[in-house]
Chain A
Amino acid sequence: MWKSAWILAIAPLILTLAACSGESSQTTNTASDRTDTVKSRRQLICGVSGEIPGFSFVGTDGKYSGIDVDVCRAVAAAMFDDPNAIEFRNLNAKERFTAVQTGEVDILSRNTTWTLSRDTSVGLEFAPVVFYDGQAIMVRKTSNIKSLADLKDKAICVQTGTTSEQNLADQMRKRSITYKPVVFEDVNITFATYAEGRCDGVTADRSALVSRRTNLPKPEDNVILDEVISSEPLAPAVAKGNTNWNNIVKWVVYALVKAEELGITSQNVAQMANTNDPDIKRFLGTEGNLGEGLGLTNDFAARVIKHVGNYAEVYDRNLGPKTKFNLARGQNQLWSKGGLLYSPPFR
């Protein structure tokens, strides 16, 4: 008898749950999209790697830093005028897409390569490229490996679920080089195994190799091969079907680029508001109503630059000459200086 009573007791609970799930889905369908969720939470949930210095890493002071982190800070600054209204979630390569699909994170800013299949079948929507990268291979100096061909029948450490894993397979197939992949889920274990000597080489994006090399026991004993075997445009992503939310992330990233182009920095952003240049006035929101179109305030770009700086400031702070990585800007230079960064007009 008690059995049936128990079932009857939980019935209302289940029905309530059912009602809840129906309700919440309605909200997401009718009201605009994720923008509202983030606004009402008054906090951004940002998925990062947390394992790659220069991109996203927790420092000894317990604070996150890196280019990927600054993208999140820029979005939070645009929305709340507060670059710290963020909760960071560390995601590994395997978890990241599910986290976006299920709405666990609002934005995935985690050195993720923009690919066609991720754009179509994984349910992601990418914002503009934040860092143009390419995949490379790191080997030990003593190994006498000078090119991909020298890696014949050698073991190569790689992280699973990355484009690196597939690019490596492609390249080796193209050149008919047999090799032995040793594949791990955890980036720390991938590099630890390489450091132990199990693998003759380790492959990842060039910037990630430069960054992780600084963590190896003897960084100077390792050399990154010149051959770049793929192009890896790293971009933040949001879940598909959130047009407005994607627009916000998109234009915040463009704002970083545009500010550099217009010569606006975190130092001079206040003075710049007084200029006569209509382009700058529109950008900073002292004229026109561009921000409203995004559901933000008109000075959203000014907030971004005030708190985070322009692209050059972000880059220099995280990867530039003053950091231990000292990575040349290369492709990540403004189009006017021979790079690939270009922002559509703020108009």
Chain B
Amino acid sequence: MTNDKPPIWRDHRFWQITAQFIAVFLAAILVTILWSNLNRNLQQLGIQFGFDFLKQQASFDIGETPITYKATDTYTRALWVGLINSLRVAIAGIFFFTTIVGITSGIARLSDNWLVRNISLIYVEIFRNTPLLLQLLFWYFAVFLSFPKVENKVSLWGFISFSQNGIDLPWVHFSPEFSALLLGLIFYTGAFIAEIVRGGIQSVPKGQWEAARSLGLKPGLVMRLVVFPQALRVIIPPLTSQYLNLTKNSSLAIAIGYPDIYFVASTTFNQTGRAVEVMLLLMLTYLTFSLTISIIMNLLNRTVQITER
């Protein structure tokens, strides 16, 4: 009976494991080749790979500094400023406005009111079908830079004022660059979320609506108590993607002069010539952003799934 055992090269499991080894081996070779190639090229140019440059003086100014920063600080400090600026946009964008805009217009798409339904339709179609970069430049040049000059700024109700210098509330100032980026990202991403929300709601079986209504619930309550919680199961996974997109798209800030992490890193790499090192740092940063959002959203996703009993 021992003859029944097939030769090792016909064993499925053998090949599965070997293939893994070969793949790892080839990947290692590839990385080694690329690495030595990089080193050789850098050596030829008289550049040494390393992160020492981060301790050097940055000697450039940054327009928006949430933490204290001066041109005499190090590149590390400058990059921190950029990082916080990125987070400001991402957090304000994600946790507040985008979700609100997205859910509101997603539900509005299914409204019984003709006007509400169609306004939402037009919004979603326009913002989904034009490039984000174009939208950012539009917000910046056509909206914020068309505000009146600083000398004759417009005041509303005495506490909010608009000018080319940005929007001023008594306790906080929004620069045109920040405002344009934030609004651009909110309305762009919001349009996608609207479609996700609409799809989620429509995926809830009609019987659920009917059952809820037959209990005597008003339409608003049907949505809030019965339909929307079930729709969330469908909504959350693609919503995560949109949050990731928003965070990554915030790097387009560079086009309209908002000093986010990508922007500061660009300046750093340009002044120091450290393209590889800076790109590695950037990749690490965005990877951390993305993984953090994924983890949070996955936890949230678990809470809305149906628990089997």
A interface residue numbers (CB < 8 A to B): 1, 3-4, 7-8, 11, 14, 17-18, 21, 25, 28-29, 93-94, 97-98, 101-102, 117-118, 120-123, 155, 160-161, 165-166, 168-170, 172-173, 179-186, 189, 192-193, 196-198, 239-241
> Which of A121, A165, A172, A193 is in CB contact (< 8 Å) with B272?
A121
User: Across the interface, do B176 and A93 meet the contact criterion of CB distance under 8 Å?
Assistant: no
User: Across the interface, do A161 and B254 meet the contact criterion of CB distance under 8 Å?
Assistant: no
User: Across the interface, do B267 and A160 meet the contact criterion of CB distance under 8 Å?
Assistant: yes
Known pairs A184-B255, A196-B141. 17 more at Cβ < 8 A? A4-B16, A4-B22, A21-B37, A122-B273, A123-B42, A155-B165, A160-B263, A161-B266, A165-B61, A168-B61, A169-B71, A173-B72, A181-B60, A185-B266, A193-B141, A198-B164, A239-B45
User: Across the interface, do A197 and B149 meet the contact criterion of CB distance under 8 Å?
Assistant: yes
**CA–CA, A118 to B46, complex, Å?**
12
Which range holds the interface residue count of chain B?
35 or more
Given contacts A97-B273, A185-B255, A239-B45, contact A166 B59 (CB under 8 A): yes
A–B Cβ pairs within 8 angstroms, 9 of them: A28-B44, A102-B41, A123-B273, A160-B263, A161-B267, A166-B271, A173-B72, A183-B257, A196-B141
User: Across the interface, do A14 and B30 meet the contact criterion of CB distance under 8 Å?
Assistant: yes
**CA–CA, A118 to B29, complex, Å?**
33
**Which A residues are CB-close (under 8 A) to B70?**
173
**Which A residues are CB-close (under 8 A) to B60?**
160, 165-166, 169, 181
In the complex, which residue of chain B has the Cβ closest to the Cβ of A199? Answer: B164
**CA–CA, A240 to B269, complex, Å?**
18
Given contacts A4-B18, A181-B63, contact A193 B145 (CB under 8 A): yes
In the complex, which residue of chain B has the Cβ closest to the Cβ of A122? Answer: B273
User: Across the interface, do B37 and A183 meet the contact criterion of CB distance under 8 Å?
Assistant: no
B111 on the A face (CB < 8 A): no
Q: How many whole Å from B251's CB to the nearest CB in chain A?
A: 12
User: Across the interface, do A11 and B26 meet the contact criterion of CB distance under 8 Å?
Assistant: yes
> Which of A121, A185, A189 is in CB contact (< 8 Å) with B47?
A121
1/0 per residue, CB under 8 A from A, across B245-267: the answer is: 00000000011110100010011
**Which B residues are CB-close (under 8 A) to A192?**
141
User: Across the interface, do A198 and B267 meet the contact criterion of CB distance under 8 Å?
Assistant: no
Q: How many whole Å from B34's CB to the nearest CB in chain A?
A: 8
Give residues 19-46 of B contacting A (CB, 8 Å): 19, 22-23, 26, 29-30, 33, 37, 40-42, 44-46
